[in-house]
Amino acid sequence: MIQYRFLFSCLAITALMSGCDLIKRKNDNTSGTSSRKAIARVTNTVLYEDELKGIVPEKTTKDDSAARVNAYVSSWVRKQLLMQEALKTISIDEAEVERKVLDYRYSLIGYEFQNYYIQQHLNDSVNDAEIDGYYKAHLDNFILKQNIIRGTYIKVAKDAPRTKRIKDLMFSAKEKEKHELKSYCLSFSAAYHIADSSWIEFDKLTVNSPLAEIPNKIQFLKTYPYYETSDQTFLYFLKVDGYKISDNVSPLEFVRQDIKNIILNKRKVELAKKLEDEVYENAAKRKDFEVFGK
């Protein structure tokens, strides 16, 4: 896979070398450009209208098309000026630059081919047994960096109707009243989280509330399974059904999606390696390459 630092460096080099190639191409074809419409020039380097093909996507409005073209031309001029100033100011190792450009080209093409191959062959189904197995084998990788809870949180304006009923609804196990609480939150709350099996970061849940200012949140969670507070504008209701403290092992449900992504990424890496090996082995069988001794 392309390393991002290398990618950005190579993009800069590519821009530089494209300018060099452009100069050469223009000088080589000067005699055949009389019928081409020039758009911009930097010293002896010319940008022609036919070179703008593909810059503007189909169905783009006239104004957006003009804006895109103007932006491209402006960028082209700046890059040419920078490239030409660089060639006048510093000594460029052309062979080294060319090698880097070729490395970037090979990496980019290989990356696109790997993506295509992975899309064709990736099994993106990850079952519970795989997730559970990975979790148990890598518990040290899933240490919580924050406090998390399961529970219900409601933030509602002081002048909202029936606020005295909120606590009763939060503690009710009746399906009808659970539905009533959800409907109430949808109609009147400024923010809410209804209890389910999912875990959520305590700080993320209580942001922009007095609960966010609690100095010792670990002691708070251990002490208050239910808590009410208010400020000048809102009432806040919190019911904690379960909690996990930072620096402890995360519950599986909290990291389930992370583990699934890890497993899928491992499969992608394995497929990329498999592709590379297959291409090499097939080419070796066909004797498509040979390495000469020094």
Residue 53 has pLDDT above 90, yes or no: no
What integer pLDDT is reported at residue 8 of this predicted model? 37
pLDDT of residue 24: 44
Query: Is pLDDT above 80 for 293?
Result: no
Instruction: Return the pLDDT at 294.
Output: 63
Q: What is the pLDDT of residue 92?
A: 84
Across the range 258-281, mean pLDDT stands at 96
pLDDT at residue 96 greater than cutoff 80 = yes
Distance separating alpha carbons of residues 149 and 151, to the nearest angstrom: 6
**pLDDT digit string (tens) for 175-192?**
999 999 999 999 999 999
Residue with token string 């209208």: 49
Domain ranges within the chain, ordered by starting residue: 4-110, 128-136+251-286, 144-244
Residue 183 burial by Cβ neighbours in a 10 Å radius (0-12, 13-18, 19+):
exposed
Residue 6 has pLDDT above 60, yes or no: no
Q: What is the pLDDT of residues 15-52, one digit of tens each?
A: 444 444 444 444 445 445 568 899 999 999 999 999 98
Report the pLDDT averaged over residues 150-172.
Answer: 96
The two beta strands, 234-244 and 148-157, are antiparallel
Residue 171: pLDDT above 60? yes
Residue 60: its pLDDT value, please?
A: 84
Contact predicate 56/69, CB 8 Å: yes
Residue 291 is predicted with a pLDDT of 86
What's the one-letter identity of residue 124?
Answer: D
Share of the chain above pLDDT 70, in %: 88
CA distances from 217 to 8, 29, 199, 205, 274 (A): 43, 73, 16, 13, 49
> What pLDDT was estimated at residue 9?
42
Arithmetic mean of pLDDT, 148-160 = 96
pLDDT exceeds 60 at position 224: yes
Output the DSSP codes for 240-272: EEEEE-TTSBPPHHHHHHHHHHHHHHHHHHHHH
Whether 221 has a pLDDT exceeding 50, the answer reads yes
Helix, strand, coil in percent for the chain, rounding step 5 = 60, 15, 25
- Looking at residue 266, its pLDDT comes to 97
| Average pLDDT of span 72-94 | 91
What is the pLDDT of the chain when averaged over all its residues?
Answer: 88
d(CA 108, CA 101): 10
How confident is the model at residue 25, as a pLDDT?
A: 46
